[in-house]
């Protein structure tokens, strides 16, 4: 099974949406194997958003991500990166379809509730950036036979 990183951004934390978003992942059948609340340092944000570091709006991103703590999650499931990306919706909350996390809770490109890894390769790097191996827990998901067919996991 795959792992992915999800960050509930300050726009989710400050609006009291942590539980609602977590419930969506659990209701879908994804397993939370790591979770912690952290303040993001400049150095972490510069590495995490290195692809945006030279953009004129990078300071706005950093300022937004440091207004409060975030909740970092590691989720596990079959095709979890693709599943979470579909649940998250497009970056711009104004165009994200209803039923997606951003479509239901965001009307902004910047304050868009959630970060989700965009590929299995990126997820591996991002999970390692935010979690030590001893902060991730491999425990039986008792409902597994009710979530997947027996040849899917």
Q: In the structure encoding, which two tokens stand for residue 9, read together?
A: 């951004």
Q: Active site residue: 65, 115, 117, 123, which one?
A: 115
Residue 115: active-site member: yes
Rounded CA separation 105/19 (Å): 13
Instruction: Say whether 143 sits in a helix, a strand or coil.
Output: coil
Strands 2-8 and 70-77: antiparallel
Instruction: Give the other-Cβ count within 10 Å of 37's Cβ.
Output: 12
Give the separation between CA 145 and CA 111, rounded to whole angstroms.
37
- Positions annotated as catalytic residues are 115
């Amino acid at each position: 099974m795959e792992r992915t990183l999800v960050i509930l951004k300050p726009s989710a934390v400050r609006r009291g949406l942590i539980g609602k978003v977590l419930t969506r992942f659990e209701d879908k059948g994804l397993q939370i194997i790591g979770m912690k609340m952290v303040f993001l340092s400049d150095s972490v944000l510069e590495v995490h958003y290195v692809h945006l570091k030279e953009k004129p709006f990078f300071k706005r991103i950093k300022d937004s991500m440091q207004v409060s703590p975030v909740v970092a999650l590691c989720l596990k499931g079959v095709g979890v990166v693709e599943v979470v990306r579909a649940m998250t919706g497009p970056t711009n909350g104004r165009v994200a379809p209803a039923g997606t996390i951003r479509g239901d809770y965001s009307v902004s490109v910047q304050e868009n509730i959630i970060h989700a890894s965009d590929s299995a390769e990126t997820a591996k790097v991002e999970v390692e950036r935010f979690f030590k191996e001893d902060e991730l827990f491999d425990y039986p998901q008792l409902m597994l036979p009710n979530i997947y067919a027996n040849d899917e996991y």
